[in-house]
Chain A
Amino acid sequence: MIALLLILIPLASGLLCFFISSERDAKSWSLFASILTLATAFAGTYSFLGIPSLSFDATWLPSLGSRFSIGLDGMGKMLCLLNSIAFPIVFASVYKNSYKKPGNFYGLMLLMQTGLMGVFLATDCLLFYFFWELALVPAYFLCSSWGGEKRIQVTFKFFIYTFTGSLLMLVGILFLYFKTTDHSFALQSFYHVKLSAPEENFLFWLFFIAFAIKMPVFPFHTWQPDTYEQAPTAVTMILSGVMVKMGLFGVIRWLLPMFPHAAMHYSHLIIILCVTGILYASLIAIRQDDLKRLIAYSSIAHIGLMCAAIFSSQRVGMHGVMIQMFNHGVNVIGLWIVADVIETQLGTRKFSELGGLARRAPALAMLLTVMALANVALPLTNAFIGEFLMFNGLFRYNVWIAAIGGISIILAAVYTLNMIQRVFYGNNSLLTDNANDVTTGTKIMLAVLVIVVVVLGVYPQPMLQLTSDTVQATFIKFHP
C-alpha cells in the first residue's frame, strides 16, 4: 500500500495543482504534497525494514499480459527516499523564485516525481517503460516553457536524444516479451527468458544505450550540459539529482540480471568507455567558465565512475554505487541550490564576472565549501564512502584502470577548488560588491543538506545495510 501511495500522492496532488492559479497556493500545496510523500517514503523505508518487499499488484492491461505491479527492494527504497527528499528541498529552495503559470509549473514537477517514483517502483517492464516516459514528458514541457534563452532548441535535442534511447529500449522490451514463456511483462519472467548469445548481445546494447543516454555515459553526454544550463534550476536539480539515477537504476534492476553474459562480455569495453569519460569530463570541467556547466561536467564524471563500478562486477563496488547514488543526488542538489542563489541574485553564472563573494556572503561560502568538498569526496563527507568503495571495486577489477580513473580525484580537486576560488575568493567584482548573504530559508535548506552529508559520511552503515539486499540479489543472478 505504501508503494501505491508513493505514486498516488504526487500524481493526485500534481493533477490538482494544474487548477490552482494563485502562486502562493501552488507553492504551498506542492511543498505540502512533497512533504507528505517524504513522510510516506520514510514510513516505507524504516518501519517496515523487516518485511522483504512492499508491493502492490493489480490488473492493468490483461490482454497484453501486463500488470500494475510495483514493489520496493533496498535500492528502490533508497531511491524513493532520495526522490522524496529531493522534491521538498527543491520546492523550498525555489520558494522565493516566481514562475509564470505557477499551477502548471508545480503540477508538472509533481508529475515528474510521479514518473520517477514509478520507475523506481515498477516490477513490470511495460509499466517501467510507461513511467520512464512519464518522467520525461513533464521534463520536456518544464524545460521548454520555463527555460533559458536557447531552451527550445536545447530541449528538443534533449527530448529527441533520450527518446531515441527509450525507443531502442522499447524494441528490446517487445522482443523479450515475445520470448517470454507466459507472455507477460513481469520482472521475473523477463529474468528467465532463454536467449541465444547473439540475441543477448544485441538486446544488451538496445537497453544499454537507452540507459547510457540517460545517465549519461561518454560519448552520449552532450545533451546534458546544454540542458542543465538552459533548464530552470529547479528542474536541473531534479534532472541531475534524481533523473540520472534512472539510468543507473535501470542497469542494476533490468540490464544486469536480464543479460548477465552479455554484461560480462562487454564489461571491459564499457569500463574503458566510462573511465575515458571520467577523465574527459573532468578535464573539460577545468575549462568551464560557467558554474552550471562545470557542475554538469563534474556530474558526468561522477556518473561515469558509478557506471564503471557497476560493470566491474564486484560486490564492494556495487555497495559503493548504491550509496553513491543517494549521496550524489544530495550533493549535486546542494551545488545547484548555490548556483541558483548566485544566479538569481547576481544575474550571472560566469566565473569571470564573479569573485570575492565570501566577504559578502560568508554563510553561503561556508555551505558551498562543504558541498564542494563532498563533491571532491573528502573523507567524512558522504561521497568519500561511495568513491572509496567504488574505486576499491575497480581496483579489484583491474589495478591500472583504478589508477587511471583515480586521476579524476586529482582533477576533481582542481576544478572544484578553482570554482570556489573564482566565485568566493579574490577581489570583488562590480557585481559581487552589492551581493547579500543567503536568506534564512536557503541557509536552513543547505544546512540540512550539510548535515546529511556529514552524518552519512561519518556513519554510512545504515545506508549500506538498506541496500545490501539488492546487492546480494543482483549478484545471485549476475555472477562475477
Chain B
Amino acid sequence: MINLIFLVPFFPLLGFLINGLFRRSLSKNTISIIGSGVVLLSFIISIILFFDVKNNGGIVVHYFDFIDTESFQIPFAFQVDQLSVIFLLIITGVGFLIHLYSTSYMHAEPTEHFGRYFSYLNLFVFSMLLLVLGANYVVMFIGWEGVGLCSYLLIGFWFKNDSYNYAATKAFVMNRIGDLGFLLAIFWILNKLGTATYTEVFEQASALSPPDVTAITLLLFVGAVGKSAQIPLYTWLPDAMAGPTPVSALIHAATMVTAGIYMIARSNALYSLSHLSRDVVAIVGLTTAILAATIALYQNDFKKVLAYSTVSQLGFMFLALGVGAYTTGVFHVMTHAFFKALLFLAAGSVIHAMNGEQDITKMGGLRKKLPVTYFTFLIGVLAISGFPFTSGFISKDEILIATYTHSRVLFWFASFAAVLTAIYMFRLLMLVFYGGFRGTPEQEHHLHESPLAMTVPLIVLAILSAVGGFVQLPEAFGGHHYLNDFLSPVVPASVPEGAHVAVKEYYLLAGTAVGLIIIALLANKLFAVKKFAGVYTGFKKILADKWYIDELYNSIIVKPLNSIAGFLNTVIDKSIIDGIVNGTGRFVNYSARQLRLLQSGQVGNYILFMVLSITVLFLVFWNQEIILAFLQKIF
C-alpha cells in the first residue's frame, strides 16, 4: 500500500507531461483517453487507499529531504490518513467525471489547444493531490501555489481575450496575497517549533504561547481567505468564470477553492487553541455567505450566479469550521463538490446547447429541449437549497445546528443566508428552464441535448447529490454519522454538540427546509416568469453591481499603487536618484569648464597669478609656526 501512494499524484503528472509535450502529434481521442485515464487510475488507487486507511489507519511516507538545513528539516513526505483520503476521493472522483465531461465539451477546440487543456487539467489534479497529500505545511504550500498556477492557466485558457487574461492575472495575484499570509504562518511555525510536519506541529501545539497560536492561525486563515475566496479577497472567483465551464466546476467549485477548508480542518489542533481565530473564521465566513448570496440574487450571467453561490457556500463551510465543527465543514466540502460540480456541468451543458450564450435573460423554457440537463440541474438546485434528505440538506443543517449551539445570533444570520440561497437558485432554475425561450431563432434551432460523455457525469453527480449525504444522516432519521467516526482520529468529532439538540429540532429544520423551498417557489412565480431580468434600479442595482466592491478595490488599491509606481518611475528614479548620479557627473564637467577659464591665454593674467602665488607662498613661509599651531589646534 505504501508503494501505491506516490502513484496517486504520479499518474496525473504523467498525463500532464505526455499531453503537454506531445499535444501536436497526438489525436484528440488519445489525448482524451490519457487525460481522463490517468485520473481514473488515481481514483482507483484512492479507493484502495481509502479501504486501507479505514482498516489500518493513517500513514506517513517519507520520500526525500526537500530542504535540509541546521535550523530545520523539511522532508518531502506524504501523509495518507482519514482526512486526506476523503479529499483524494473527492478530487480524483469528481475530477474524473469532469475530465470525462471535458472530452466532449472541449471537442471543438483545435487539437493543440485540446491537448494543452488536458495537460493543464492533469497538472491541476497533480497539484491538488500534492496539496492534500503533503505531510507538512511546505509540501502543502507547493500544491497550494501549484493549483493557483493551474487556475491562472485555465482561466486564461482562451488567451486571445484580454479580459480573460486580466481575470486570470487577478486570480493569481489575489491568491498570492493569501499565499503571503500562509508563507508567514509557515515561517512562524518553523521558527517557534523547528518543524513544519503536521504530526510534530500538532503534538507541540500546546507549547506555543497564545499570541503565537493566534498569529499563526490568523495568518493561515489569510491564506485560506485568498484561496477559498472569502471577504476581502473573493472578487477573483466570479471573474474566474472566464475559464471553460468544466474548469469552473473542477477548480472553482469542487476542489481548489475548498483547499482553505482542508487547511483549517487539518490544522484543527491549532485552531482549537485560539478562540479569537475561530471567531474571526466564523464571522468572515458568515459575512461572506450573506454578501455573496445577496449579490447572486441579481446576476444575469449563468456562471456568475453559480460563482457567487460557491463563494456563499464556502462561507458556510468556514462558518462550520469557525464554530468548531470541523467534520461538518469537511462534510459540506464533499456534498458541495457533488452538487456544485453538477450545477456547473449542467450549466456547461446549457451553454454548450446555447452556443456559448451565458446570459440567463436570453434563455428560458429549456426544460423540454434538454431533459437530462434539466432533471439533473433540478436535483442540484434542490440539494443546494436544502430540500430534505438531499446531501445539501444534511450537510447544511448540520452546519446550522452547530452554529445554533455556538451562538443564536450567528444561527439566524446563517439561516437568512440559506433562505437567500434557495431564492437565487430557484430564480436561476426558473429563468433558464421555465417560461418561454427568449433567445434568437438560430439559438433555438441549435438547441440539443448534450452527448453521452456529458450527460453521464451529470447523472452520476446527480445521484451523488441526492444520496451522498446519507453517510452523515442524523440519528434522528435513523442514520449514523459514519464520516464523523471515520475522521475522528484526525479531526475531533463535531456532532457531540449537535447530539444535544433535541430530535424535535430536526423536524423543525426539516420543516424549515420545506418552507424555504415553498417561499422560493412563490418568489419565483412572482418574479421569474414575469419580466424579472433586465435593467435594475435602486437597491437592486447595487446588488447587481456587486456592492461596487471591485470598483472600491480599484480606486483604493489598484489605482493608487499604479500612480505611486508611476511616480517612483518618472520622478524618484529618473529625476531624483538618477538625477543625483548624473548631476555629480555634470558638476564635475561644469567645474572643469569653469576652471578652464583660468587658462585665459592673457599674459597679464598669468603674471598676476604668478605674483599673487609668490606673495602667498612668502606669507605662508614667514608664518609657518602660526599656521602649524593653528592646524594642530583644529585636528
Which chain A residues have a beta carbon within 8 Å of chain B's beta carbons? 157, 160-161, 219, 221-223, 280, 283-284, 286-288, 314-316, 319, 356, 358-359, 362, 373, 378-380, 384-385, 388-389, 391-392, 395-396, 399, 402-403, 406-407, 409-410, 413-414, 417-418, 421, 424-427, 459-461, 464, 468
What B residues does A418 contact at CB under 8 A?
Answer: 169
Query: Which A residue's beta carbon lies closest to that of B138?
Result: A388
Given contacts A284-B568, A391-B187, could you give 7 more A-B pairs where the C-beta distance is less than 8 Å? Answer: A284-B573, A287-B562, A288-B569, A418-B169, A424-B159, A426-B159, A427-B160
Tell me the B564-602 residues at the A interface (CB within 8 Å).
Answer: 564-566, 568-569, 572-573, 577-578, 581-582, 585
Tell me the B1-59 residues at the A interface (CB within 8 Å).
Answer: none
Q: How many angstroms from the CA of A201 to the CA of B83 in the assembled complex?
A: 57
What B residues does A385 contact at CB under 8 A?
Answer: 67
Q: Could you list some 26 contacts between A and B, CB below 8 A?
A: A157-B581, A157-B582, A221-B577, A222-B573, A283-B565, A284-B569, A316-B69, A319-B69, A358-B159, A362-B112, A373-B149, A379-B142, A388-B183, A389-B69, A392-B187, A395-B191, A402-B184, A406-B180, A406-B184, A409-B176, A410-B177, A417-B169, A421-B166, A421-B169, A460-B66, A464-B67
Q: How many angstroms from the CA of A418 to the CA of B561 in the assembled complex?
A: 15
Contact with A along B142-169 (1 / 0, CB 8 A): 1011100100100010011110011011
Closest Cβ of chain B to A130, distance in Å, is: 26
Which chain B residues have a beta carbon within 8 Å of chain A's beta carbons? 64-72, 112, 138, 141-142, 144-146, 149, 152, 156, 159-162, 165-166, 168-169, 172-173, 176-177, 179-180, 183-184, 187-188, 190-191, 561-562, 564-566, 568-569, 572-573, 577-578, 581-582, 585
Do residues A426 and B160 form an inter-chain contact, with CB atoms below 8 A?
yes
Q: How many angstroms from the CA of A153 to the CA of B191 in the assembled complex?
A: 49
Q: How many angstroms from the CA of A464 to the CA of B141 in the assembled complex?
A: 20
Classify the interface of chain B: helix, strand, loop or mixed. helix
Do residues A287 and B565 form an inter-chain contact, with CB atoms below 8 A?
yes
Closest Cβ of chain B to A114, distance in Å, is: 29
What A residues does B69 contact at CB under 8 A?
Answer: 315-316, 319, 389, 464, 468
- Indicate which residue in A284, A314, A389 contacts B565 across the interface (CB closer than 8 Å): A284
- Indicate which residue in B138, B565, B582 contacts A286 across the interface (CB closer than 8 Å): B565
Query: Which B residue's beta carbon lies closest to that of A318?
Result: B69
Do residues B71 and A219 form an inter-chain contact, with CB atoms below 8 A?
no
Do residues A378 and B585 form an inter-chain contact, with CB atoms below 8 A?
no
Do residues B578 and A356 form an inter-chain contact, with CB atoms below 8 A?
no
Tell me whether A283 and B561 are in contact in the complex, defined as CB-CB below 8 angstroms, given that A160-B585, A418-B169, A464-B69 are known contacts: yes
User: Which of B65, B112, B187, B581 is the most central at the interface, judged by chain A CB atoms within 10 Å of its CB?
Assistant: B187
Tell me whether A410 and B180 are in contact in the complex, defined as CB-CB below 8 angstroms, given that A222-B573, A379-B146, A464-B69 are known contacts: yes
Q: How many angstroms from the CA of A356 to the CA of B572 in the assembled complex?
A: 33
Q: How many angstroms from the CA of A51 to the CA of B541 in the assembled complex?
A: 75
Closest Cβ of chain A to B546, distance in Å, is: 22
Closest Cβ of chain A to B24, distance in Å, is: 9
Closest Cβ of chain A to B477, distance in Å, is: 45
The 8 residue pairs across chains A and B that have the minimum distance between CB atoms: A379-B142, A425-B159, A395-B187, A222-B578, A283-B565, A417-B169, A287-B569, A287-B565
What A residues does B581 contact at CB under 8 A?
Answer: 157, 161, 222-223
Do residues B67 and A379 form an inter-chain contact, with CB atoms below 8 A?
no
Q: How many angstroms from the CA of A222 to the CA of B581 in the assembled complex?
A: 8
- Indicate which residue in B160, B172, B565 contacts A356 across the interface (CB closer than 8 Å): B160
What A residues does B162 contact at CB under 8 A?
Answer: 421, 425-427
Do residues A392 and B562 form an inter-chain contact, with CB atoms below 8 A?
no
What B residues does A417 contact at CB under 8 A?
Answer: 152, 168-169, 172-173
Query: Which A residue's beta carbon lies closest to that of B563?
Result: A287
Closest Cβ of chain B to A318, distance in Å, is: 9
What B residues does A286 contact at CB under 8 A?
Answer: 561-562, 565
User: Which of A157, A219, A284, A407 is the most central at the interface, judged by chain B CB atoms within 10 Å of its CB?
Assistant: A284
Do residues B68 and A464 form an inter-chain contact, with CB atoms below 8 A?
yes
What A residues does B179 contact at CB under 8 A?
Answer: 409
Query: Which A residue's beta carbon lies closest to that of B577?
Result: A219
What A residues does B183 contact at CB under 8 A?
Answer: 388, 391, 406, 409
Closest Cβ of chain B to A71, distance in Å, is: 24
Closest Cβ of chain B to A478, distance in Å, is: 15
Closest Cβ of chain A to B134, distance in Å, is: 11
Do residues A359 and B160 form an inter-chain contact, with CB atoms below 8 A?
yes
User: Which of A287, A362, A373 is the most central at the interface, judged by chain B CB atoms within 10 Å of its CB?
Assistant: A287
Tell me whether A280 and B568 are in contact in the complex, defined as CB-CB below 8 angstroms, given that A425-B165, A459-B64, A460-B66 are known contacts: yes
Query: Which A residue's beta carbon lies closest to that of B148?
Result: A378
Query: Which A residue's beta carbon lies closest to that of B174?
Result: A410
Do residues B67 and A388 form an inter-chain contact, with CB atoms below 8 A?
yes
Do residues B71 and A315 form an inter-chain contact, with CB atoms below 8 A?
yes
Do residues A378 and B578 form an inter-chain contact, with CB atoms below 8 A?
no
Tell me whether A315 and B70 are in contact in the complex, defined as CB-CB below 8 angstroms, given that A409-B179, A427-B162 are known contacts: yes
What B residues does A427 contact at CB under 8 A?
Answer: 160, 162
Do residues B585 and A414 form an inter-chain contact, with CB atoms below 8 A?
no
Q: How many angstroms from the CA of A42 to the CA of B118 in the assembled complex?
A: 39
What B residues does A362 contact at CB under 8 A?
Answer: 112
Q: How many angstroms from the CA of A356 to the CA of B562 in the assembled complex?
A: 24
User: Which of B112, B159, B177 is the most central at the interface, judged by chain A CB atoms within 10 Å of its CB?
Assistant: B159
Query: Which B residue's beta carbon lies closest to that of A218?
Result: B577
What A residues does B585 contact at CB under 8 A?
Answer: 157, 160
Q: How many angstroms from the CA of A410 to the CA of B176 in the assembled complex?
A: 6
Closest Cβ of chain A to B159, distance in Å, is: 4
- Indicate which residue in A319, A380, A409, A461 contacts B146 across the interface (CB closer than 8 Å): A380
What B residues does A413 contact at CB under 8 A?
Answer: 172-173, 176
User: Which of A314, A378, A402 is the most central at the interface, judged by chain B CB atoms within 10 Å of its CB?
Assistant: A378
What A residues does B190 contact at CB under 8 A?
Answer: 392
What A residues does B572 contact at CB under 8 A?
Answer: 280
Closest Cβ of chain A to B235, distance in Å, is: 15
Do residues A222 and B577 form an inter-chain contact, with CB atoms below 8 A?
yes
Query: Which B residue's beta carbon lies closest to that of A457?
Result: B142
Do residues B67 and A460 form an inter-chain contact, with CB atoms below 8 A?
yes
What B residues does A380 contact at CB under 8 A?
Answer: 142, 146
Query: Which B residue's beta carbon lies closest to that of A288?
Result: B569
Do residues B149 and A378 form an inter-chain contact, with CB atoms below 8 A?
yes
Q: How many angstroms from the CA of A280 to the CA of B177 in the assembled complex?
A: 18
Q: How many angstroms from the CA of A109 to the CA of B128 in the assembled complex?
A: 46
User: Which of A406, A418, A425 is the most central at the interface, judged by chain B CB atoms within 10 Å of its CB?
Assistant: A425
What A residues does B582 contact at CB under 8 A?
Answer: 157
What A residues does B562 contact at CB under 8 A?
Answer: 286-287
Q: How many angstroms from the CA of A464 to the CA of B72 in the assembled complex?
A: 13
Query: Which A residue's beta carbon lies closest to that of B177?
Result: A410
Do residues B160 and A425 form an inter-chain contact, with CB atoms below 8 A?
yes
What A residues does B65 contact at CB under 8 A?
Answer: 461
What A residues does B142 contact at CB under 8 A?
Answer: 379-380, 384
Closest Cβ of chain A to B216, distance in Å, is: 12
Q: How many angstroms from the CA of A391 to the CA of B188 in the assembled complex?
A: 11
Do residues B173 and A410 form an inter-chain contact, with CB atoms below 8 A?
yes
Closest Cβ of chain B to A457, distance in Å, is: 9
Tell me whether A379 and B141 are in contact in the complex, defined as CB-CB below 8 angstroms, given that A287-B565, A406-B183 are known contacts: yes
Do residues A403 and B184 form an inter-chain contact, with CB atoms below 8 A?
yes
